[in-house]
Amino acid sequence: MERKKVVVLTGAGVSAESGIPTFRGAGGLWEGHDVMEVASPEGWEKNPRLVLNFYNERRRNALKVKPNVAHQIIASLENHFNVAVVTQNVDNLHERAGSSQVLHLHGELFKSRSTRDPSRIYAVDGWQLNWGEKCELGSQLRPHIVWFGEMVPLMDEAVKEVKTADILIIVGTSMIVYPAAGLIHYARPGSAIYVVNPDMPTMEDYPNLHLIEEKATTGMTRVFDLLTASSS
């Protein structure tokens, strides 16, 4: 029997329980910085060294934390289903937990790319990416992050994944950051939708919609039990 397709859309709430700070805090600040200073093309043009140092600190912190129960449960769903993870997170905790198919909508913290040719992408060894590190074309490397005002290049691929899902799980995301927030609209009729969030966003009324108002770790434990019980 062909396995059911599960697509898991994850946001900052999944990694927050591992100790990864959420992207935006009170007043639009991120770790003490205006987000536009460190997460926009304009911020990069104005002060690239500040931006490089900011992401160096994010990498250094990410290396200290571990996948949590939510990451582990999402990975273990592969034992029962055909699973694709579509994440707004830039950390690598899904991969470290064992998920084999992860699509990073907003880029990847442990990669860099050429400022001249965006298709030239490189792994960041360790936590430092410094001023003066260049691609083969001689242009400065920048974080491989989708900043405010930039296109989301993998959006079409994410839409294709959601369109094929028998089950869509949305966990740890406020559903207000577009275009990712619009992915739910591509769920096909009849597919089951599970939303896990302790601060439940306002949701349209979909058939087969299940709202679980809990944090990612406990909420995903419930979802796993529900799905594996129904598939056995």
Three-state DSSP class for residue 71? helix
Which residues of the chain fall below pLDDT 50? Answer: 26-27
Instruction: Determine which one of 106, 144, 185, 210 is catalytic.
Output: 106
Note the pLDDT of residue 26.
46
**Cα(167)–Cα(145) distance, integer angstroms:** 28
Note the pLDDT of residue 180.
77
CATH entry, 1-19+67-106+152-232, from 3.10.310.10, 3.40.50.1220, 3.10.450.50, 3.10.580.10: 3.40.50.1220
Which of 201, 198, 223, 221 is closest to 210 using CA atoms? 223
Note the pLDDT of residue 32.
73
> Does the annotation mark 106 as catalytic?
yes
**Cα(223)–Cα(93) distance, integer angstroms:** 20
- Tell me the torsion sign for CA atoms 222, 208, 167, 18: negative
**Cα(173)–Cα(152) distance, integer angstroms:** 17
Please give the share of the chain, as a percent, with pLDDT higher than 70.
94
**Cα(1)–Cα(147) distance, integer angstroms:** 42
Task: Quick: pLDDT tens for 185-197.
Answer: 999 988 999 999 9
What kind of fold does domain 21-64+107-145 have according to CATH?
SIR2/SIRT2 'Small Domain' (3.30.1600)
Which of 98, 102, 83 is closest to 165 using CA atoms? 83
| Neighbouring residues of 8: CB distance < 8 A, sequence distance ≥ 6 | 74, 77, 83, 84, 85, 86, 169, 171
Note the pLDDT of residue 23.
60
List where CATH 3.40.50.1220 sits in the chain.
Answer: 1-19+67-106+152-232
List where CATH 3.30.1600.10 sits in the chain.
Answer: 21-64+107-145
Note the pLDDT of residue 232.
53
